[in-house]
């Protein structure tokens, strides 16, 4: 047991994590490309046409996984921030920083695809509905986090300030997730449920799940690539970076 | 403990009363913003009555946000903030004191002047009363939440704009329920539910935000 614990902490140092992150990124890219490719093929050609919504519903195969990821990545960032604040580790904050742009991108994609879906289905690009508004707030929270990190020159202060902001903003996640239950506005309730029957065709469900896993892999891949750059940038005057660059040059 | 709280409040209010322009800037800003809307939209009373809750609330939100920068800045500059960090009393208690003082200086005048602005928008007496209640419950929450952002951005170059970016997303629920209370009253539904919600948000903020603000202050001043 002791041995395994030590192994985990081994990778909390940027020097040892750097090569591992590279390998994880490679594998994740492969998984992401394959799964998103398969998922897109299934969502366009295999999944049946919806009897009420026609072919327009197919955008949910991007919309729903993107919304899930936008919320989930925020939680992951908040988790890393909490770890970083409690254990005072450098790498955790780097992980939060690396995840932020991907999370913001997914929040934006979720809103954008939602608008494309809303136009033919609801007849409008945008509604001030509880869930849509809170997803927009989530996008603002991501942007605020990135702006705060950018505005503070001192890295240590930036990390910790960003972490506090993330933990304060985490209140918004349950609000988004349960908003369709709490406020009965235009956005429909969840079709995919953890418990009980999912009111959805099986092929559709599988397509959505494949896309979700693909988006997961994509998020991991981009985060790992970004965290590698951040590590090099922040640790540029350490010996391991010099060795790394020296070995390549 | 209670003495500490009172003395922090008394000190901040005294300091603010000796530099009265700061109070008036916030108040005048609020009045001007709210008065701009009829000029831009046109003087039809029906339209104005519809948008009044939202306009007054957005005005109050922006005004209290403008005042946030002052919250810790003077103490940070003259070093008294560091003494507060070192003080034996819990920092979150001192933070609550400073926030209460800040609200008395910048929030309370907004609440007092708001009915006058509501009259300009032809709101009924009942709606005005609900508006005062909603502002009374809502503006302290704004100060409490804003204190976190003020503490995080303490002493940064682009502090003012950054505060807006950080704090406005957190203000949105207060805005929705605050304006919603007045709106529900004018449409005959009754604003009680919204007011209860504002009260609940205020209680939660009192519990949670001083801790976050204290943590943020420690990060910003180390």
pLDDT digits 0-9 by tens, B165-213: 888 888 888 888 888 888 888 877 777 888 998 999 999 999 989 999 9
Q: How much is the ipTM here?
A: 0.81
- Residue A213 has a pLDDT of 92
Indicate yes or no: CB of A165 within 8 angstroms of CB of B152.
yes
Q: State the pTM of this model.
A: 0.83
Which structure tokens are listed for B120?
């300009």
Q: Please tell me what DSSP assigns to residue A59.
A: G
Mean pLDDT of B29-39: 89
Residues in B touching A132 (Cβ below 8 Å): none
B20 min Cα distance to partner chain A (Å): 31
Q: Where are the domains of chain A?
A: 63-229
Using a CB–CB cut-off of 8 Å, the residues of B that contact A are 148, 152-153, 156-158, 162, 165-166, 168-170, 172-173, 209, 212, 215-216, 219-220, 222
A130 min Cα distance to partner chain B (Å): 10
User: Which DSSP string do the residues of B44-103 spell out, in sequence order?
Assistant: -HHHHHHHHHHHHHHHHHHHHHHHHTHHHHHHHHHTHHHHHHHSSS-HHHHHHHHHHHHI
Indicate yes or no: CB of B219 within 8 angstroms of CB of A157.
yes
Which stretches in chain A have pLDDT values below 50? 1, 194
- Residue A76 has a pLDDT of 92
The residue among B169, B173, B179 with the most chain A CBs within 10 A of its CB, best to mutate, is B169
CA distances (Å), origin B101, targets A71, A194, A204, B153, B199: 36, 48, 57, 20, 19
- Cross-strand pairs, A54: A50
Q: Which residue of B has its CA nearest to A171?
A: B170
Nearest to B162 among A141, A151, A172 (CB): A151
Indicate yes or no: CB of B219 within 8 angstroms of CB of A167.
no
Indicate yes or no: CB of B212 within 8 angstroms of CB of A164.
yes
B64 min Cα distance to partner chain A (Å): 19
Indicate yes or no: CB of A167 within 8 angstroms of CB of B212.
yes
Nearest to B152 among A137, A143, A148 (CB): A148
* Rounded CA separation B49/A51 (Å): 44
Mean pLDDT of B95-100: 92
Chain A from 80 to 139: CB within 8 A of any B CB? 133, 137
- Residue B211 has a pLDDT of 92
* Rounded CA separation B101/B143 (Å): 10
B150 min Cα distance to partner chain A (Å): 11
Provide the angle, in degrees to the nearest 10, between the axes of the packed helices A130-151 and A90-122: 150
Which structure tokens are listed for B141?
């929450």
Match 């002047």 to its residue by tokens: B113
- Residue A1 has a pLDDT of 44
- Residue B84 has a pLDDT of 86
Match 């904050």 to its residue by tokens: A93
pLDDT band at B32 (very low <50, low <70, confident <90, very high): very high
User: Which DSSP string do the residues of A24-56 spell out, in sequence order?
Assistant: HHHHHHHHHHHHHHHHHHIIIIISPPBTTTBGG
CA distances (Å), origin A40, targets A68, A69, A203: 17, 17, 13
Indicate yes or no: CB of B166 within 8 angstroms of CB of A165.
yes
Confirm if B118 and B128 have CB atoms less than 8 A apart: yes
The residue among A135, A155, A157, A169 with the most chain B CBs within 10 A of its CB, best to mutate, is A157
């Amino acid at each position: 047991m002791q041995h395994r614990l030590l192994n985990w902490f081994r990778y909390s140092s940027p020097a040892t994590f750097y090569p591992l992150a590279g390998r994880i990124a490679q594998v994740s890219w492969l998984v992401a490309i394959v799964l998103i490719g398969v998922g897109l093929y299934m969502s366009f050609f295999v999944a049946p046409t919806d009897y009420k919504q026609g072919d327009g519903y197919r955008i949910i195969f991007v919309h729903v996984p993107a919304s899930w990821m936008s919320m989930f990545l925020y939680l992951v960032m908040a988790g890393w921030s909490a770890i970083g604040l409690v254990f005072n580790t450098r790498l955790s904050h780097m992980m939060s920083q690396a995840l932020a742009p991907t999370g913001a991108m997914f929040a934006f994609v979720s809103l954008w695809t939602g608008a494309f879906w809303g136009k033919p289905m609801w007849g409008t690009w945008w509604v001030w509905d509880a869930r849509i508004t809170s997803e927009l707030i989530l996008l603002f929270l991501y942007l605020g986090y990135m702006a705060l990190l950018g505005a503070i020159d001192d890295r240590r202060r930036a990390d910790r300030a960003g972490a506090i902001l993330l933990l304060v903003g985490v209140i918004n996640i349950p609000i988004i997730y349960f908003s369709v239950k709490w406020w009965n506005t235009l956005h429909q309730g969840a079709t995919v449920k953890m418990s009980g029957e999912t009111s959805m065709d099986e092929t559709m469900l599988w397509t959505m799940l494949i896309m979700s896993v693909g988006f997961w892999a994509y998020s991991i891949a981009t985060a790992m690539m970004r965290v590698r750059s951040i590590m090099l940038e922040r640790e540029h005057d350490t010996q391991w970076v010099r060795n790394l660059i020296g070995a390549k040059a | 403990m209670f003495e500490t709280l009172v003395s922090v409040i008394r000190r901040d209010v005294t300091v603010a009363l000796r530099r009265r322009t700061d109070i008036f800037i916030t108040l005048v800003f609020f009045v001007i913003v709210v008065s701009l809307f009829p000029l831009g939209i046109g003087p039809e009373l029906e339209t104005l009555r519809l948008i009044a809750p939202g306009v007054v609330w957005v005005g109050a939100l922006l005004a209290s946000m403008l005042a946030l920068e002052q919250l810790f800045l003077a103490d940070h500059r003259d070093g008294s903030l560091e003494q507060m960090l070192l003080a034996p009393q819990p920092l979150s208690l001192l933070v609550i004191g400073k926030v209460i003082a800040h609200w008395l200086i910048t929030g309370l005048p907004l609440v007092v002047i708001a009915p006058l602005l509501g009259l300009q928008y032809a709101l009924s007496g009942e709606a005005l009363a609900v508006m005062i209640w909603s502002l009374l419950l809502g503006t302290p929450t704004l100060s409490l939440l804003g204190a976190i952002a003020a503490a995080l951005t303490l002493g940064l170059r682009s502090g003012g704009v950054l505060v807006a970016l950080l704090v406005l997303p957190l203000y949105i629920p207060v805005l929705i329920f605050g304006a919603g209370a007045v709106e529900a009253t004018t449409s005959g539904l009754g604003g009680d539910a919204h007011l209860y919600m504002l009260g609940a948000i205020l209680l939660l903020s009192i519990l949670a935000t001083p801790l976050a603000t204290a943590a943020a202050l420690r990060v910003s001043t180390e």
